[in-house]
A and B are shown apart, each in its own frame.
Chain A
Amino acid sequence: MDASVLLALRDPAGVPFYPIVFQILYILTWALHAAFVLLSLGAMGLSLYGSAKGNQDKHWSILTPHLIQTGKISVSILIVLGVAPLLFTQVIYDPNWYVTNTLSGMWIFIFVYTMIVGYCMYYWYYYAHKAQRTGHSLIGFVSFGILVFAGILMHSFAVTSIMPHDWMNMYAPNGIVNTSGWTFNMDIIRLAFMVSLAIPVVGIFLQNYSRFLSTRKDFDASFISYSAKLGTNFAVVGLLISAVLFVLWMLQIKYLFHPVSIATIIGVLVLLAMAKTNRNSYYTTLVLVVVALLISTMRELIRFDIMSALGYSIYDYPMNLEIPSIVMFLSTFLIMGFVGVAYLLTMAWKVGKREGVFDGSKDVVVTKLGQATLYIMIAWMAIYFAWGITTLFKNIL
Chain B
Amino acid sequence: MDIIGQFPLFYFPEYGSAWMMGITGTIHILFSHTSVGAAMLFAFLAHKAYKENRSDYYPYMKKYGMFLLIFSYVLGSITGPGIWNTATAASPRGISALIHNFVWVWATEWVFFIYEVIGVFVLVYFIDRIDRKTHLKLTYTFALASVGTLALIIGIISFMMWPGTQAFYATGSASDAFFGINTFPHMFLRIGFMIMMSGVIGLVISSSMRKENEELSNELSRKMGYISIIGGFITMFFFVWYMGTLPENAHAVFAFSKDAIIQNRIILTMVFIAYFAIAIIKPKLINPVIASVMIGVILISGLWSGEKLRESMRKPYVAGQYIYSNQIISRDVPGKNIKSELPIIAEKGLLHLNPFVPARLKTITDENKREAGELLAKMACSNCHSLEKTGVFRPLKDRLTGMDKEGIKSILYVIGEGGMSYMPTLKLPETEYDAIAEYFASLHY
User: Which residues from chain A sit less than 8 Å from chain B, CB to CB?
Assistant: 4-5, 8-17, 22, 25, 73, 76-77, 79-84, 86-88, 90-91, 94, 97-99, 101-106, 108-109, 111-112, 115-116, 119-120, 123, 167-168, 171-172, 175-177, 179-181, 318, 320, 322, 324-326, 328-329, 332-333, 336-337, 340-341, 343-345, 347-348, 351, 356-361, 366-367, 370-371, 373-374, 377-378, 380-381, 384, 387-388, 391-392, 394-396
Q: Which residues of A contact B11 (CB under 8 A)?
A: 179-181
User: Using Cβ atoms and an 8 Å threshold, which residues of chain A touch B113?
Assistant: 80, 83
Residue of B nearest to A1 (CB): B355
With A98-B96, A102-B9, A112-B82 known as contacts, the answer to whether A329 contacts B184 (CB < 8 A) is no
B329 touches A12 (CB 8 A): yes
A22: B residues at CB distance < 8 A: 103
What residues of chain A lie closer than 8 Å to B20, measured between beta carbons?
105, 109
A381 and B181: CB pair below 8 A? no
C-alpha gap A341/B116 in the complex (Å): 10
Inter-chain contacts of B108 with A (CB < 8 A): 325, 328-329, 332-333
- Give Cα A111 to B114, complex, Å: 22
Chain B, 70-84, CB within 8 A of any chain A CB: 70, 73-75, 77-82, 84
Known A84-B107, A374-B144; further 18 A-B contacts with Cβ < 8 A = A8-B4, A12-B5, A13-B97, A87-B106, A98-B93, A102-B89, A103-B8, A105-B90, A109-B86, A115-B78, A181-B10, A341-B115, A345-B118, A358-B129, A374-B141, A391-B175, A392-B180, A395-B179
Taking a contact as CB atoms under 8 Å apart, the answer to whether B145 and A377 are in contact is: yes
B337 and A12 contacting across the interface, CB-CB below 8 Å: yes
Q: How far is the CB of B350 from chain A (nearest CB, A)?
A: 13
Set of chain B residues within 8 Å of A328, measured between Cβ atoms: 104-105, 108
Collect the chain B residues with CB atoms within 8 Å of residue A377's CB: 141, 144-145, 148
Q: Which residues of B contact A322 (CB under 8 A)?
A: 104, 173-174
Ranked nearest first, the 3 interchain pairs of A and B with the lowest CB-CB distance are A105-B10, A360-B134, A112-B82
Contact B137 A370 (CB under 8 A): yes
- Residues in chain A near residue B173, CB distance under 8 A: 322, 324
Tell which of B99, B180, B338 touches A91, judged by Cβ atoms closer than 8 Å: B99
Report the minimal beta-carbon distance from B360 to chain A, rounded to whole angstroms.
Answer: 4
A318 to B95, CA, bound (A): 18
Q: Are B78 and A79 in contact (CB under 8 A)?
A: yes
Measured in the bound complex, the distance between the Cα atoms of B140 and A174 in whole Å is: 60
Q: Is the CB of A171 within 8 A of B356?
A: yes
B339 at the interface (CB under 8 A from A): yes
Contact B81 A395 (CB under 8 A): no
Given A108-B88, A360-B133: A179 and B74 within 8 A (CB)?
A: no
What is the bound-complex CA distance between A172 and B113, given in angstroms?
40
What is the distance, in angstroms, from A5's C-beta to the closest C-beta of chain B?
4
Q: How far is the CB of A383 from chain B (nearest CB, A)?
A: 11
A105-B17, A344-B119, A395-B167 known; A358+B355 contact, CB < 8 A: no
Closest to A391 in B: B179
Q: Is the CB of A348 within 8 A of B122?
A: yes
Q: Assess whether B100 is in contact with A15, with CB atoms less than 8 Å apart.
A: yes
Report the minimal beta-carbon distance from B124 to chain A, rounded to whole angstroms: 11
Judge whether B74 and A76 touch: CB under 8 Å. Answer: yes
Band of interface residues on B: 35 or more
Closest-by-CB residue of A relative to B2 is A8
Please measure, in the bound complex, the distance between the C-alpha atom of A326 and the C-alpha atom of B3, giving whole angstroms: 32
Contact with A along B109-135 (1 / 0, CB 8 A): 011111111110110001011110110
B298 → A minimal CB distance (Å): 19
Q: Which of B81, B147, B148 contacts A82 (CB 8 A)?
A: B81
The answer to the question of B237 belonging to the interface, with a C-beta cut-off of 8 Å to chain A, is: no
From B73, B115, B172, A344 is in contact (CB under 8 Å) with B115
Contact B172 A13, beta carbon cutoff 8 Å:
yes
Residue numbers in A under 8 Å from B130 (CB-CB): 347, 351, 357-360
Can you give 16 A-B contacts (C-beta < 8 A)?
A: A9-B5, A9-B7, A10-B5, A11-B5, A13-B336, A15-B100, A79-B117, A87-B106, A98-B7, A109-B89, A116-B74, A167-B356, A348-B118, A370-B137, A377-B141, A377-B148
A52 → B minimal CB distance (Å): 25
Q: Are B337 and A318 in contact (CB under 8 A)?
A: yes
B88 and A97 within 8 A (CB)? yes
- Least CB separation from B359: chain A residue: A175
Given the complex, which residues of A lie within 8 Å of B115, measured CB to CB?
336-337, 340-341, 344
Nearest residue in A to B113 (C-beta to C-beta)? A80
Q: Contact between A101 and B74 (Cβ–Cβ < 8 Å)?
A: no
**Could you tell me if B107 and A87 are in contact, using CB atoms closer than 8 angstroms?**
yes
Instruction: Look across to chain A and name the residue whose beta carbon is closest to the beta carbon of B4.
Output: A8
**Which one of A16, A17, A103, A371 contacts B10 once the chains associate, using CB atoms below 8 Å?**
A103
Q: Report the Cα distance A73→B10, complex, angstroms.
A: 34
Bound Cα distance A115, B76 (Å): 12
Which of B85, B131, B375, B378 neighbours the largest number of chain A CB atoms within 10 Å of its CB?
A: B85
Please pick, from A101, A175, A356, A366, the residue contacting B92 in the complex, using a CB distance under 8 A: A101
Considering the chains assembled together, what is the distance between the CA atoms of A109 and B27 in angstroms?
14
Question: Would you call A99 and B100 a contact (CB within 8 A)?
Answer: no
Known: A348-B122, A348-B126, A351-B126. Is A370-B7 also a contact (CB below 8 A)? no
B151 sits at the interface (CB 8 A): yes
- The CA-CA distance from A112 to B20 in the complex, in Å, is 11
Pair A123/B70 contact, Cβ less than 8 Å:
yes
Given A16-B104, A73-B121, A361-B133 contact (CB < 8 Å): yes
B138 within 8 A of A: yes
Q: Are A381 and B356 in contact (CB under 8 A)?
A: no
Contacting residues, chain B, for A86 (C-beta < 8 A): 81, 84
Q: Which residues of A contact B333 (CB under 8 A)?
A: 13
Q: Are B165 and A381 in contact (CB under 8 A)?
A: no
Q: List the B side residues contacting A82 at CB < 8 Å.
A: 81
Is B287 at the interface (CB under 8 A from chain A)? no
Residues of A within 8 A of B329 (CB): 12
B325 at the interface (CB under 8 A from A): no
Tell whether A344 pairs with B7 under 8 Å between CB atoms, given A5-B355, A366-B134, A391-B175: no
Residues from chain B with Cβ under 8 Å of A123 in the complex: 70, 74
**Residues 383-406 of B at the A interface (beta carbon under 8 Å):** none
The complex places the Cα of A13 from the Cα of B174 at a distance, in Å, of 11
Does B1 have its Cβ within 8 Å of any Cβ on chain A?
A: yes
**Considering only CB atoms, which chain B residue lies closest to A86 in the complex?**
B81
Asked whether A325 lies within 8 Å of B176 as measured between CB atoms, the reply is no
Chain B residues in 8 Å Cβ range of A12: 5, 329, 336-339
Contact of B101 with A by CB under 8 A? yes
Residues of A near B85 (CB, < 8 A) are 101, 108-109, 111-112
Q: How far is the CB of A376 from chain B (nearest CB, A)?
A: 9
B357: A residues at CB distance < 8 A = 172, 177
Contacts of A167 in B (CB 8 A): 8, 356
Q: Which residues of A contact B360 (CB under 8 A)?
A: 175
Using Cβ atoms and an 8 Å threshold, which residues of chain B touch A179? 8-11, 378
Using known A-B contacts A115-B78, A179-B378, A384-B151, determine if residue A76 contacts B175 with beta carbons closer than 8 Å: no
Q: Which residues of B contact A333 (CB under 8 A)?
A: 107-108, 111
Q: Is the CB of B4 within 8 A of A84?
A: no
**Shortest CB distance A28–B (Å):** 12
Contacts of A336 in B (CB 8 A): 111, 115
Partner of A391, one of B95, B119, B176: B176
Contacts of A341 in B (CB 8 A): 114-115, 118
Q: What is the distance, in angstroms, from B196's C-beta to the closest C-beta of chain A?
A: 22
**Residue B361 is within 8 A (CB to CB) of chain A in the complex:** yes
